[in-house]
Amino acid sequence: MDYNLESIKLHAKHKGKIQVTPKIEVRSKEDLSMVYSPGVAGPCLEIEKNPEAVYDLTIKGNTVAIVSDGSAVLGLGNIGPLAAIPVMEGKAMLFKRFAGIDAFPICVDSQDADKIIETVKMIAPVFGGVNLEDISAPRSFIIENALQDLGIPVFHDDQHGTAIVVLAALINASKVVKKPIREMRIIVNGAGAAGIAIAKLLKSADHVDEEDVITAKEVIMCDSKGIIHKNREDLNDAKKEMIQYTNPNNEEGSLKDAMHNADVFIGVSVGEILSQVDIRNMAESPIVFALANPTPEIWPGDAYEAGAVVVGTGRSDMPNQINNVLGFPGIFRGALDARAVRITPKMKLAAAFAIADCIEYPFSKMVIPPSLNFDVASKVAAAVKKAAEEDSTAYNKK
């Protein structure tokens, strides 16, 4: 099947994928007087008197803005806000299907970080959370950091959602290969938003409470020019920051050099950059998460043939699909239910463990739940809500 062509037909038939549906039918003057003038003055005045009532009297407590500038759409690059709308509509559908959340695409006609920040601040009153999506690094870091005191959770899913689901898969993969994460040498290839978030989470760079820490023995980050080390003079600020958390021995060289004796490869980069020789150069019982889409860094069959024990990709037609849909619906559901003002490191780790726990007996071809497992979101939501309620920083407002 030509999915692109069939998808165009589907979108044309329905004129998009989402719509606004009223919860209350208006069939009489009394109905109209209740939902609009004059009765609507009641909830308006109640909210004016008690702003927290907005969560009980409006859609705010169950609504997420999906904000994008279309600058880094998965597999498509910088296609702009108009062309990004179908992706954001699709994400809105997933929010609703998996977690019952009403989400709406907000595609901003600017790639200026300050303008996007100001836009989100101005539209925030109607939303209970903000999902930043497909915004290129390093602007994505700047935008997310600037919005953490907005009073509602702001979460860049391409960063943290990916990192959380990767960690969940790695937790179970470590059980399969019988090697704890704290003993692993991990290569992260791709120093964009996802790669940096993965590396930080694996090194507990978010300063999680000690009892919750998962810290890999060693994380080496690579970009298109090879290993990121302190002697390089071509690093942007985001990559310079990563030197604090990665490459403790200041190794230099190419990705292929980094692969020697690595326990884990995590690719969020480009397709077909690894060979079977690279897998054979890894440590015993290697784990390979080749997440470039649609073409992984190495095809699973080749990786298994070269000795990999666990292989995951971002593709739905292969085992161990590492897909953000396992994370973001439940994460936002839990955050909204807790009325948290931000998503904290403790909440992220709770989500990762909840996803991992959905597989009672992990094995090589099943270290992560299937993307269409509709039980995952509710389990993640419960874990995130509990973590938020235990974490005072989830509620501290500026």
**Region 264-268 average pLDDT:** 96
Distance of CA 12 to the CA centre of its chain: 29
**Region 80-88 average pLDDT:** 96
Residue 213 has a pLDDT of 55
Q: Which residues are catalytic?
A: 36, 91
214: pLDDT confidence band, cut at 50, 70 and 90? low
Does 159-398 carry CATH code 3.40.50.170? no
Residue 257 has a pLDDT of 97
Residue 76 has a pLDDT of 85
User: In whole angstroms, what is the distance from residue 126 CA to residue 64 CA?
Assistant: 9
Residue 209 has a pLDDT of 47
**Region 152-169 average pLDDT:** 94
Q: Residue 158, annotated ligand binder?
A: yes
Report which of 78, 75, 105 is spatially closest to residue 89, judged by C-alpha positions.
105
206: pLDDT confidence band, cut at 50, 70 and 90? very low
Q: Residue 134, annotated ligand binder?
A: yes
Structure tokens at 294: 């649609």
pLDDT tens per residue across span 13-57? 999 999 999 999 999 999 899 999 999 999 999 999 999 999 999
Report which of 334, 210, 160, 191 is spatially closest to residue 268, judged by C-alpha positions.
191
**Architecture of domain 3-152 in this structure:** 3-Layer(aba) Sandwich (3.40)
Structure tokens at 300: 């699973």
Q: Do 159-398 and 3-152 fall under one CATH topology?
A: yes
Residue 91 confidence (pLDDT) above 80? yes
**Averaged pLDDT score across all residues of the chain:** 93
Question: 263 near 184, Cβ under 8 Å?
Answer: yes
Residue 207 confidence (pLDDT) above 60? no
Helix then strand then coil, in percent of the chain rounded to 5, is 45, 10, 40
Residue 396 has a pLDDT of 65
Please state the domain extents for the chain.
3-152, 159-398
**Region 332-338 average pLDDT:** 97
Single pTM value for the model: 0.93
Q: Residue 131, annotated ligand binder?
A: no
User: In whole angstroms, what is the distance from residue 379 CA to residue 385 CA?
Assistant: 10
Residue 289 confidence (pLDDT) above 60? yes
Residue 270 confidence (pLDDT) above 60? yes
- Percent of the chain clearing pLDDT 70 (strictly above): 96
- Percent of the chain clearing pLDDT 90 (strictly above): 84
